[in-house]
Each structure stands twice: as structure tokens, then as C-alpha cells.
Structure 1
Amino acid sequence: MREALQTLSEPLTDVPDALRPPLADPLLSGRGLTLEIGGRRLLDAIDIDIRPGRRTLVMGANGAGKSLLLRVLHGLVSPTSGSVRWRGRPLDKAARRAQAMVFQRPVMLRRSVFANLSFALGVRGLRGAERGRRIAEALEQARLGDLARRPARVLSGGEQQRLALVRALACDPELLFLDEPTASLDPASTQAIERLVDDAHQRGVTIVMVTHDLGQARRLGDDLVFLHGGRVAETGPARKLLDAPASDAARAWLEGRLYLGEPGMTT
């Protein structure tokens, strides 16, 4: 399965620039995103574009601002300054309904696996046969059919994360945020999550994902944004950046060295 995922994730590294198709307009973009809390600047004038149908990875050392950036882009946290735009327009409630987010620690309702799915779909206005169809499909995708009536909070960590992911995907988002969805999971659970993410990508869902896993980045990444100290140190095709980072910050992190200097942004 991992070999298959890697094959599906191979970027077009051997295609000359002149023959590459033009980049689509951003589905989601952030300009000058700055976040200050308690007198500390946690995000510093970040510019970012998320292209439709792409898998954009966000990487960097602990405390670089990765999770905060996802929350700002999804509208869960308001930036001190700067703006987020969806299809060129200000992010609003309707735009957020076209998105979904899965956190590092799954958020489970005090209900059964089935009821967790049913509630999420009900909030989106789905009723009757269509809701039932989507629940059945989600249970099959997550391989949780035998556990449908079990309380969600007694599932294993891997099972909860699979449920959180298919619950988000059942709502048919255009864009899916993933904040380290496989952190602390065993290899089998990680593989199951990656399969679900790859299936979603194949269906056209745009992915924005935080990860520390270099192997995962190579398997699942199209584009990569590397953060350092709340700023963008480097952006570019994932494979190119991982193989030959141009910024000191990314190079040091990939080599396992502590870097305390300026980000030195490179694009």
C-alpha cells in the first residue's frame, strides 16, 4: 500500500517548466497574516496560496506556527492583521461550510460511531436516504462497520482518527485541513489514514496538511510551505524542497540541526 501511495503521489519533476500547465487561481489565499497573542507575534506577515486539487503540506519545527496557520486559514482564529480569501472573496460562513478540519486529537461526541456521523451530516442539512447512504459509505471507508454502535470515545486512537476523517469527508468539503492526523499512531493506522487522504485527493478534494513525517511528506505532498518562527522560510514543490532546500531554516531542520537564525525566505 505504501508503495502504491508513493506512486500516486509522484510529482511531475521531469516535465520542463515550459510544458507545465498554468497554475490555477488560488482556492484559498492569505495575505499578510499576522497573529499576536499576549504581546508575542506568533504569525508574522504570512502570504500563502492554496491551489485547487493540490496537496499542500505545512512543515517546520515545533512552535513554528503551523497549527495556528491552519486555524487562521479555516477561520477558527482571527488574525491580528491580514486577510483570508476564498475564491478571491473574503472568507465567510458559506466559505467555511465548503471546508472541513481534522485535528491532531480527534474530537468525538459522547455518542456512538454511527451517531457521530449522523449528527455531522444533520448539521449540514442532510436527511433521510442521502444521510443514510453517506453514513454507510463512511463506515465502509473507515472500516468501522462492525463498531457502528460502539461509543466513539472508547475507540482506539487510530479508530477515532479514521472516524474523524470520514466524518469530515462525508460532508463533501472542497478543502480539507489536517493537523498532524497521524501523530502518535502506529504504522498500520498511519497507512489507513494516508489511504483515506489519498482517496479524497483522487476525488478532487484540496488538502492542506501539517506533518513532521518526511516519508509521509514525500508520499502525499504536491506543494510544501516551510515555516520558521512564525514566518514563511521557503515554499515550492514538495519533492524539490525536501531534496534540495534553499533556505537555511529548512536545510537545518531536515538535517536535524537546531536553527535560531532568520527564516531567509526562498520561493
Structure 2
Amino acid sequence: MPGDAQILRFPPAGTDTSEGIRLVDICLQRNGESVLDKLSLTLGEKGITGLIGPNGAGKSVLLRVLTGLISPNSGVVQIAPHLGDPALVFQKPVLLRRSVKANLTHALRIAGVAKPARSGRLAELLVIAELTRQAEAPARTLSGGEQQRLAFARALASNPRLLLLDEPTASLDPAATAAIERLTRATAASGVKVIFVTHDRAQAARVCDDIAFLHKGRVTEHASVTSFFDAPQSRAARHYLQGDLLL
């Protein structure tokens, strides 16, 4: 049951909002087991942060805490006001039984985009997702990579400043993976803060600017991507990168 957690969208006076996101002693328990254990992490307001670590480390749960889908038992979540509410892209896209265009139009309507502006923004999103030719196609007939690009574009409909990606390429082939990675980098280059969960170490090295390594519900290391892969400081991270099992 949620306890004393504080979710602060507007940090108190004196908080350095250039930090973007600040998590302090986040604890979450399920069935008596700790999922997040006094997890603390501070992130900048720009760039791509990779969340990596073994299965069960708490990566996906942490994304849901940031969105407010899950309330921790205790701790503090601070998100700089200019980042607003985050958008989340799941590993497996859930699409409406409508056309590509209708899926995006629905997202624009939910996001509160004024009706006169929707057609222009719709065209932009179709270009961003490389789906202009498939605009009238039923969304659920698209390939896996196309569906994920549609889910990505749908998340961008609200012009978020914080985008959370939960293993968006886990089941995709190399070409589709490359397309999502291009889209991720382009989104970050536009000024959006991206948090990217991945099990693919090579992908993290290709895409991310910094790495937060999670183990047993805690961040055991947070460093630039170069420092993390060249000289990991925590024992757990070193073993993980060597391919050892972490128990």
C-alpha cells in the first residue's frame, strides 16, 4: 500500500531545476519483497539516460513511478516543472483498432491540441515516424517496427519534455531497431529528456549519454556512458558487463 511517498511536480523554492529529475530514497514493496530499495538518482534536464541492469532490478518499475502509474511506499520524486508530465512508450505497443492516422488524431485530441492545428501536427508526426505512406492503413496490420514507431509518434503528440522508453526495441529486427534509435536521438536533439531502459549493452553505448545501473532496486552507479563502459566503479556493474550472473 502507498505510504509516505511525495510526488512533487513543482519542486520547492531553492531547488535546482536544471537537475530535471531527483529521486530520493524511493522504496516500493510488493508481497513483502523490496522492488525499489532506497533508490536515489539525480538526472539532468536533457540528453538520453540509459537504465540498465539485470532482470528484476527495478528498471521498468522506476519508469512507472516517474509517470505516477505506481506510487512508492516512501521517498520523494521531484520533476522540474518545465518537464511537465512524462510520456511513456511500452515494450509492446497497444494500438487502437483504427488507422494509423486515426490513432494519432485520437492522441492529439487527448493531448488537447486545438482542432485547427491537428492536421498540421498529424502530418509532422507521420513524417517523424516515417509512416506517411501508411497513414490510412489499419494500425494493427503494420509490422512490429512500424507499430513501435507509431507508438513513439503517439507519445510525442502532447509535445512532452520528458519521454520514457521501456525496452522499445526488445523484439525488433536490426533495421527496425535502427529506426527507433534514430528517432530517439532526434527526439533528444530537439530538447526532450529521454530515459531509455534497455538490456542491450551495445545499444546503451550507441544511444545514451549517461548510464544509471540498477541492481536489487538500487542505483549502484551513475556515470557518463564512456566512464561506465570503460571503467565501471561498482562491483555489480563490473560483473554485469563481464556477463556474470548477479544473484
Query: What is the match of residue 101 of structure 1?
Result: 88
Q: Gaps spanning 5+ residues in structure 2: where?
A: 1-15
Query: What is the match of residue 118 of structure 1?
Result: 105
Write the distance in 1 (CA, Å) between the matches of 2:36 and 2:219.
9
Write the distance in 1 (CA, Å) between the matches of 2:144 and 2:43.
29
Task: Please state whether the residue corresponding to 1:258 is helix, strand or coil.
Answer: coil
**1:22-101 alignment, distance < 5 Å:** 25-87=18-80, 95-96=84-85, 99-101=86-88
Q: Gaps spanning 5+ residues in structure 1: where?
A: 1-22, 261-267
Query: What is the match of residue 246 of structure 1?
Result: 233
Write the distance in 2 (CA, Å) between the matches of 1:86 and 1:259.
31
**1:100-249 alignment, distance < 5 Å:** 100-249=87-236
Task: Please state whether the residue corresponding to 2:154 is helix, strand or coil.
Answer: helix
Write the distance in 2 (CA, Å) between the matches of 1:176 and 1:75.
14
Write the distance in 1 (CA, Å) between the matches of 2:96 and 2:27.
32
What are the superposed Cα offsets for residues 28-48 of structure 1, whole Å, 9 maximum, x if unpaired? 221111110111111000111
Task: Please state whether the residue corresponding to 1:119 is helix, strand or coil.
Answer: helix
- The structure 1 segments of at least 4 consecutive aligned residues displaced by more than 4 Å after TM superposition are none
Task: Please state whether the residue corresponding to 1:173 is helix, strand or coil.
Answer: coil
Residue 186 (structure 1) shift: 0.5
Read off the aligned partner of 1:215 and give its amino acid letter: A
Residue 24 (structure 1) shift: 6.9
Residue 83 (structure 1) shift: 1.7
Write the distance in 2 (CA, Å) between the matches of 1:191 and 1:170.
22
Write the distance in 1 (CA, Å) between the matches of 2:71 and 2:26.
9
Query: What is the match of residue 265 of structure 1?
Result: none
Write the distance in 2 (CA, Å) between the matches of 1:28 and 1:119.
29
Read off the aligned partner of 2:59 and give its amino acid letter: K
Contact 1:32 1:47 in 2 (8 A): yes
Write the distance in 2 (CA, Å) between the matches of 1:61 and 1:253.
8
What RMSD over aligned residues (CA atoms) do the two structures have, in Å?
Answer: 1.7
TM-score by length of 1: 0.83
Write the distance in 1 (CA, Å) between the matches of 2:74 and 2:171.
34
Aligned residues: 232
Read off the aligned partner of 2:78 and give its amino acid letter: R
Query: What is the match of residue 6 of structure 1?
Result: none
Query: What is the match of residue 257 of structure 1?
Result: 244
Write the distance in 2 (CA, Å) between the matches of 1:125 and 1:75.
20
Write the distance in 2 (CA, Å) between the matches of 1:209 and 1:102.
10
Query: What is the match of residue 7 of structure 1?
Result: none
Contact 2:17 2:80 in 1 (8 A): no
Question: Aligned in 2, Cα 1:37/1:235: closer, same or farther, shift over 3 Å?
Answer: same
Contact 2:84 2:160 in 1 (8 A): no
Contact 1:28 1:88 in 2 (8 A): no
Task: Please state whether the residue corresponding to 1:45 is helix, strand or coil.
Answer: strand
Contact 1:30 1:73 in 2 (8 A): no
Contact 2:84 2:161 in 1 (8 A): no
What are the superposed Cα offsets for residues 140-175 of structure 1, whole Å, 9 maximum, x if unpaired? 121211211122122111111000111112321101
What are the superposed Cα offsets for residues 75-133 of structure 1, whole Å, 9 maximum, x if unpaired? 110001112111279xxxx932xx21101111211211111100111011113331111
Percent of pairs identical after alignment? 50
